[in-house]
Amino acid sequence: MKLTIESMTYGADGLAHADNGKAVFVQGAVAGDTVEAEVVQDGKSFMRARTTEILEPSPNRIQPPCTFVGICGGCSWGNLSRTAQLAAKEQNLRSTLERIGKFAPELADELVQPICHTKDDWGYRNKIELEPTVVNGRVRLGMHGVDPSKIVTVDMCPLFDKRFPKALKSVVGALNYLSGSHDLGLERVGIRASRRTKALEVALWTPTGSFPRSQVSRVLADAAHPTSIVRVMSKGEKKARRVSKVEMLAGEGSWTENIAEDQ
């Protein structure tokens, strides 16, 4: 099926329309692309499709600095220029106000102000969350893929704060090393950074119970030099786990950020 992508939707897909007028949500394409796509779901009111070939690339399509764009789910619009991304977000907001909120177009124009955005196209995100998997008895950490059933192992993220370019690799390496001799019981790992306060926190989500606190603190401190290491303990059923306690393992025990200053 040959399609021309008209706009970006909420999430990763581009929006096109089939010859019969049915909306098609297309994975792997950006606004302005003309693509060959394979239908993966044909519903009553819409279809979902996957790009198999880019026939004519959009003038707003870019070559991103991350090789995992389109595989990792962390930057689903990474192939689209920043200017086009901002325009798409603004248009999505206007569309939501008009279609769902029933606002008149004139009122939507009045309400929607220019987007406040960072100066940098990349290297501005202050948070990374990693999901653990066990491979050959060792913990591997990665990000959820575009396919949510898959975990993509990475050791860098160009979107993460550029003041801490080695933080992700250091944390992943340290926890992989520790997993060789300890059962950490990791459920999730968070890394937060601030270019303004220079704070760097590593948060480890685990069940309640015994934990090699001193070894984890020492190895993470030597590898990543964080200002804070905390353990977030949770309990309950997997789909409804709740935080029972937050334990400071090293450093300040919290992460700080300044807001409403330079973007």
Say if 197 falls within a structural domain. yes
Please tell me the total count of domains within the chain: 2
Say if 162 falls within a structural domain. yes
- C-alpha 75 chain-centroid distance: 6
Q: Please, are residues 122 and 158 in contact by the beta-carbon 8 Å criterion?
A: yes
For residue 134, how many other CB atoms are within 10 A of its CB? 10
Angle at 195 between CA 74 and CA 190, to 5 degrees: 45
C-alpha 229/C-alpha 64 separation (Å) is: 32
Q: Which of 77, 111, 145 is the last residue of a domain?
A: 111
Task: Tell whether 221 and 135 lie within a shared domain.
Answer: yes
Task: Tell whether 29 and 61 lie within a shared domain.
Answer: yes
Q: Which of 53, 87, 111 is the last residue of a domain?
A: 111
**Of 96, 94, 163, 155, the residue nearest 126 (C-alpha):** 163
- Give the CATH number of the domain where residue 213 resides: 2.40.50.1070
User: Which of 47-51, 132-136, 208-212 is the least confident region?
Assistant: 132-136
Angle at 164 between CA 234 and CA 190, to 5 degrees: 10
Task: Tell whether 94 and 26 lie within a shared domain.
Answer: yes
Average pLDDT over residues 14-41: 95
Q: Please, are residues 160 and 172 in contact by the beta-carbon 8 Å criterion?
A: no
Task: Tell whether 83 and 153 lie within a shared domain.
Answer: no
Say if 260 falls within a structural domain. no
Say if 256 falls within a structural domain. no
Say if 244 falls within a structural domain. yes
C-alpha 223/C-alpha 217 separation (Å) is: 10
Segments forming the whole domain that contains residue 23: 2-111
Task: Tell whether 104 and 79 lie within a shared domain.
Answer: yes
Q: Please, are residues 75 and 64 in contact by the beta-carbon 8 Å criterion?
A: yes
Q: Work out the mean pLDDT of the chain and round it to a whole number.
A: 91
Say if 117 falls within a structural domain. no
Task: Tell whether 76 and 135 lie within a shared domain.
Answer: no
Task: Tell whether 133 and 78 lie within a shared domain.
Answer: no
Task: Tell whether 203 and 137 lie within a shared domain.
Answer: yes
Task: Tell whether 26 and 86 lie within a shared domain.
Answer: yes
- Give the CATH number of the domain where residue 27 resides: 2.40.50.140
Say if 263 falls within a structural domain. no
Task: Tell whether 79 and 144 lie within a shared domain.
Answer: no
pLDDT by residue (tens digit) across 186-243? Answer: 999 999 999 889 999 999 999 988 999 999 999 999 999 999 999 999 887 776 678 8
Q: Please, are residues 126 and 190 in contact by the beta-carbon 8 Å criterion?
A: no
Task: Tell whether 244 and 136 lie within a shared domain.
Answer: yes
Task: Tell whether 88 and 192 lie within a shared domain.
Answer: no
pLDDT by residue (tens digit) across 108-131? Answer: 999 999 898 888 999 999 999 999
Confidence band, pLDDT 50/70/90 cuts, at residue 76? confident
Say if 122 falls within a structural domain. no
Q: Please, are residues 70 and 50 in contact by the beta-carbon 8 Å criterion?
A: no
Average pLDDT over residues 244-263: 84
Q: Which residues contact 87 (CB under 8 A, 6 or more apart)?
A: none
